[in-house]
Amino acid sequence: MGTVFQQYNIEIVEKLCRPPPLIRPSVSMGAAPPEAVGVMRQCWSEAADLRPDFNRLYDIFRHMHRGRKINIVDSMFEMLEKYSNNLEELIKERTEQLDMEKKKTEQLLNRMLPRSVAERLMLGSRVEPEEFEEVSIYFSDIVETIGDAYMVVGGLPTRALDHAESVATMALHLLHLAGRFRVRHLPAQPLHLCIGLHSGPCCAGVVGLTMPRYCLFGDTVNTASRMESTGAAWRIQVSAATAGRLAAAGGYQLRSRGLRHIKGKGAMHTYWLLGKDGFDRPLPVPPPLQSEEVLFESDGENDSERSGAEAAPLLDRTSTVNKD
């Protein structure tokens, strides 16, 4: 290796980067006591269990000097011991901070993304786009308020057969809460919630790397949004597709709204969701609408006897064209 201090740092680094053999200092036996040379060789041993710790080194050097007071050596080992202890505490503190930040990141991802998608992203896995044969999409908006649109999807990313029923029941609960809610500084102003539901196929996937978002694509999303935008305050407007699933499931009260002109879709038969058997929470009373036709109301006794094949034809009845 050459004489000590006669090589540049770059040369040493280059040799360290190109083993074998592993580069080690060259120390002649006459340059230091044999015990000290032996300790040096132990310290650069490749086997971690053969390298002495600071306490062991302190004992070795005290034994080498046979109890003589060497202030410089004692001071050096005392400082090294303090640095070692402080480093351990610092590493522990930084590790705890890292764990806290990691938990905050996980909580944020779970709020922004479905849990199963967030877990795959945190593992570094690629989330491939998926196609879903049928889901139910909820859109809601507070009348005369900006930035309050809300979207909920049932049936993805975990597929479920009762997605329409789950979303419809959730909509009834939210409508009940909206009717009871009072704005603190405007107690006389009701919270007019407008809700729309639609069922159909769609595609979903993660968009973005720095700020990933779980996005839905397809005509089903647009139609669900139109169900909300063409609805009315304190009412739940559902499409024929969603109404068919709810009628087949039984227990839901639906009222025909008739044919509505939906932008980008043309004339569509839509329905009002009025309630559900067993749902005893009061709903707010919406303003009356004209030209309504009763399509299907649960009688409570024959719901269990209705099958999907029996209930579906009810949705084919002719309805009047509403102009409200």
Pick the CATH number of 130-316 from 3.90.1150.10, 3.40.50.300, 3.30.70.1230, 3.40.50.1970: 3.30.70.1230
With a threshold of 0.85, does the pTM exceed it? no
pLDDT attached to residue 252: 95
pLDDT given for residue 21 in this prediction: 67
CA distance 295 to 255: 5
Residue segments in the chain with a per-residue pLDDT below the cut of 50:
1-2, 293-324
pLDDT value of residue 151: 92
CA angle in degrees (0–180, nearest 5) for 31-33-35? 135
For residue 169, the SS3 value is helix
pLDDT of the residue at 297 = 44
Query: Which pLDDT does position 163 carry in this prediction?
Result: 95
Domain ranges across the chain: 9-95, 130-316
Confidence at residue 169, expressed as pLDDT on a 0 to 100 scale = 95
pLDDT of residue 317: 32
The CA distance from 316 to 265, in Å, is 18
Provide the pLDDT for residue 85: 77
